[in-house]
Amino acid sequence: MIDAPAPPPLIILRGITKTYGSGPAAFQALRGVDLDVQAGEFVAIMGPSGCGKSTVMNLIGCLDTPSSGSFHYQGVPVHALSRDQRALLRRHHMGFVFQGFHLLARTSAQENVELPLLYRGLARRERHAAARAALAQVGLTGWEHHTPAELSGGQQQRVAIARAIVGQPRLLLADEPTGNLDSTRSHEIMALLAAFPREHRITVLMVTHEPEMAAYASRVVHFRDGLVERDLRQPPRAPAAASEASA
């Protein structure tokens, strides 16, 4: 029997550079990055401050553009897209989770989660159903009508994650998602993120400074001085261990 060819990577970066400023003040944040990410991977991106890890996440998330090089997403040459085309790609294919929760203070959990669908123009009934389903997926059934002030930090991050996945993205970008949480809540959030590739085929890219959090990923890419220094595969931390940590 002939094995089927492996699918092409979801993300392909080739020779990516990014320079900020010009002349003597120019700073080269990325110096020629090559990186492939397969659909369904959980990749942690690590490195010291100023190494380029947040810059590469912004480029992959279509929040910025490279100075040179090529970026393909599902075969689409993102580096050649217009700003409006990148915005559409971001809106329909990607979800974002940040260190800060960025929730609207006077708005319920359900309404916060519905926001991306509002921008897509979905009908009210569809938005409500999708938001409730996303909140259930992150373990917040029964908390739909609570405001952020009525939620713990861990619950607020769960709402932010529900908002990121409510549109059923193929790619979830998480920038220091446990940076504002204590150890117990951090492990709960990491167990949740680690389940997305396995159970929902959502590819997860996460920037973190913490090796303990990177242990949940199946692959760790280390950046230094604007380049990939190491790219290591590892057995991800078992869900059972995460449960023990948050018990």
The DSSP result for 107-130, as a single string, is S-HHHHHHHHHHHHT--HHHHHHH
| CB-based contacts of 191, cutoff 8 Å, min separation 6 | 216, 239, 242, 243, 246
- 139 within a domain of the structure (yes/no): yes
- pLDDT at res. 120: 87
Q: What is the pLDDT of residues 138-157, one digit of tens each?
A: 999 999 999 999 999 999 99
> Can you tell me which residue has the tokens 């990186």?
35
- 1 within a domain of the structure (yes/no): no
- pLDDT at res. 237: 81
Q: Nearest Cα to 169, choosing from 204, 125, 217, 119?
A: 204
Each as own residue / partner, the long-range contacts of residues 185-190 (CB below 8 Å, 24 or more positions apart, any chain) are 185/152, 185/153, 185/154, 185/157, 185/246, 186/210, 186/213, 187/242, 187/245, 187/246, 188/154, 188/242, 188/246, 189/154, 189/157, 189/158, 189/161, 190/216, 190/237, 190/242
Alpha helices in the chain (DSSP H): 53-60, 83-93, 109-120, 124-137, 153-165, 183-200, 211-214, 239-245
CA distance 191 to 196: 9
Distances (CA, A) of 50 to 26, 36, 69, 85: 14, 22, 20, 29
- 166 within a domain of the structure (yes/no): yes
Distances (CA, A) of 234 to 176, 200, 219: 20, 20, 6
The range of the structural domain enclosing residue 197 comes to 11-245
- 182 within a domain of the structure (yes/no): yes
- 3 within a domain of the structure (yes/no): no
CA distance 222 to 208: 10
- pLDDT at res. 4: 66
Structural domains counted in the chain: 1
Q: What is the pLDDT of residues 2-42, one digit of tens each?
A: 666 778 999 999 999 999 998 888 999 999 999 999 999 99
- pLDDT at res. 121: 87
CA distance 228 to 32: 9
Low-confidence ranges of the chain (pLDDT < 50): 240-247
- 18 within a domain of the structure (yes/no): yes
> Can you tell me which residue has the tokens 């220091």?
176
Q: What is the pTM of this model?
A: 0.91
- 4 within a domain of the structure (yes/no): no
- 241 within a domain of the structure (yes/no): yes
Q: How many residues does the chain have?
A: 247
Instruction: Give the SS3 label for residue 84.
Output: helix
- pLDDT at res. 11: 98
| CB-based contacts of 157, cutoff 8 Å, min separation 6 | 97, 101, 177, 178, 180, 181, 185, 189
Structure-token pair, residue 133: 């389903």
- Domain containing residue 81: CATH number: 3.40.50.300
- pLDDT at res. 245: 36
Contact (Cβ atoms closer than 8 angstroms) between residue 36 and residue 210: no
- pLDDT at res. 60: 98
